[in-house]
Structure 1
Amino acid sequence: MKMVERFRGLNIYQKGVLLFMAAMILVFAAVYAVTISREGFSYRGAIFIPSREDGSTVYSGKIKGEAASFTVTEDQTAVYRLGDKTYGPYIFREDPAAVPKAPVPGEEVTGVELRLGDEILFRGGMENGDYRLLYNEDGSVRDLGIAMTVGSGVQIDENGNVIDPEEPSVFEILELFTGPELVHRGAWGMWFYGVLACILTAVSVLFADELFRWGMSFHIQNAELAEPSELEIAGRYIAWTVLPFLAMALFIAGLSVSPV
């Protein structure tokens, strides 16, 4: 009851700050729950959410605000759509004969072949570890898919070949076929930091005079008789305005955490 009476004794601005923070905590808790529950395939900074359609798995998302999707069928073919562009069909199969004959260091490898129609995009070995290096049939390491933009704005790969920057790489397609790890955005830890900022602000609002006199007790005698100056009161209101927005920034930052 004392806390209720203390709340009733606050002015409108103080009550507004407390109610605003309480609402913010609840709203962001719901937003975090929804965001973190949406797990999908991490592709170029976006999350592609999987669903089942006509026996195929469709991963849907957005790239730079444009609708995009991967459709993977049960017979191991895939098509990528970005806006009105279509890439594929990509055809994947495991082939033990594709394992490099030369010894490959590190993890065990699986022989795979990836085609784009009749064109062989890759044939060789793929590591089975967390980081899947690709090895050509001769045992050499597959190019890592590094691209750069030249002065004319054209993108080229490490071999100087012109590439379409919107086309998925061999690495990305193989990851899709071999069971991508599903990830999500958002981190509950940042939500808790935001809640902590709200709690500290609420304490400073509800116990403003007590905290002031406690601080003064280190400097003067009879601190319980001290009264806050106008400058002290102005500082309180500035803090009560800034801290809730700091908490909001923490909540928002947590939603922007990279896919994990």
Structure 2
Amino acid sequence: MEERSKLQKAVLISMAAMVVLFGVLMVAARFQKGVEFEGGLLRRTETEESVIYNGKVRGEQVEITVRAAGSGNLTEVDFRIGNRIQDDCTLETGLPPIQAEQLGPVEHIRITKNDILLFEGGYDPEYGMGWYDLDGNWDPFTMSVSYSSTAGDDYWEHYETDRGTILSFARGPQLVSRGSWELYFAMLLLSALLALDAAFPLVIFHWQHMCDVKDPEPSDFYLGMQRAGWCVYPFLILIGYIIALRVLP
């Protein structure tokens, strides 16, 4: 058997290490549940009086505190993003239903931010755009975008806490975890193919040409490009593993 070069051994070791390392990290990431917020993941902790979501998102420490107030129909949601954003918000429920067009009665809610009325009207949780004004007319623009930016902007500079975000945290957002098993297994397949190519350099070449040419032999150019691929592909696969580990659903 032909002795493998140092480059071949390095590729095989790196592929095996990535598979094991990122497999362990993926399992650990899937067990760490949190709440998605502006591309980051916030940890959820619960006390007797409140639920707190905190973590670092886009360079700023974020803390969102949710607590019941009053008779139980009022929920307070406080947003703290570094020293830059401090929004004290409320969600009020238990109001008389609103007759929405074509749907009939829907929940009547009132949302305030820093003691200023942000929204009052109907809401249907079964529809992502199910917002209605006080007269029951569908209001597709109620779900305003919390942030819009251009390349190079400071992400939080123009950030505005919107009513959809307030409502989501007041109701208890869905817990999610980082990591995509689909992308991980795709990288695993690419790792296996690269390891096969490094361990048996001529196998894939013969598979490609065995039906077309008798006793095919690779050219020096083919072998040179193959070695170049052994140097480049591990870094691309590493990037793929990192993306698979960090992606949010």
TM-score, with structure 2 as normaliser = 0.79
Structure 2 residue aligned with 1:155? none
1:108, 1:127 within 8 Å by CA — same for their partners in 2?
no
What amino acid is the match of 1:70?
Answer: I
Q: Percent same amino acid at aligned positions?
A: 25
Cα distance in 2 for partners of 1:203, 1:174 equals 52
Cα distance in 2 for partners of 1:167, 1:214 equals 58
What amino acid is the match of 2:49?
Answer: G
Deviation at 1:27, TM superposition (A): 1.6
Deviation at 1:59, TM superposition (A): 1.0
Deviation at 1:237, TM superposition (A): 1.1
2:148, 2:158 within 8 Å by CA — same for their partners in 1?
no
Structure 2 residue aligned with 1:110? 107
- Aligned ranges for residues 220-239 of structure 1 at < 5 Å? 220-221=213-214, 223=215, 228-239=218-229
In structure 2, the residue corresponding to 1:181 is in which secondary structure?
Answer: coil
2:205, 2:218 within 8 Å by CA — same for their partners in 1?
yes
Structure 2 residue aligned with 1:156? none
User: Which range moves more in the overlay, 76-85 or 205-214?
Assistant: 205-214
Task: Select 1:73's aligned residue among 56, 67, 70.
Answer: 67
Query: Is residue 2:135 matched to residue 1:131?
Result: no
Cα deviation per residue 1:173-217 (whole Å; 9 max; x = unaligned)?
A: 011112222233321111111111111111112222344445554
Cα distance in 1 for partners of 2:145, 2:178 equals 25
1:107, 1:127 within 8 Å by CA — same for their partners in 2?
no
Structure 1 residue aligned with 2:231? 241
Structure 2 residue aligned with 1:161? none
What amino acid is the match of 1:51?
Answer: T
Greater radius of gyration (CA): 1
Query: Is residue 2:160 matched to residue 1:167?
Result: yes
Task: Select 2:8's aligned residue among 14, 22, 25.
Answer: 14
Cα distance in 1 for partners of 2:209, 2:113 equals 75
Gaps of 5+ in 1: 1-5, 151-163
Gaps of 5+ in 2: 70-74, 150-156
Cα distance in 1 for partners of 2:145, 2:209 equals 61
When residues 214 and 140 of structure 1 are mapped into structure 2, their CA distance, relative to the original with a 3 A threshold, is closer
In structure 2, the residue corresponding to 1:208 is in which secondary structure?
Answer: coil
TM-score, with structure 1 as normaliser = 0.76
Cα distance in 2 for partners of 1:107, 1:192 equals 47
Structure 2 residue aligned with 1:55? 49
In structure 2, the residue corresponding to 1:95 is in which secondary structure?
Answer: strand
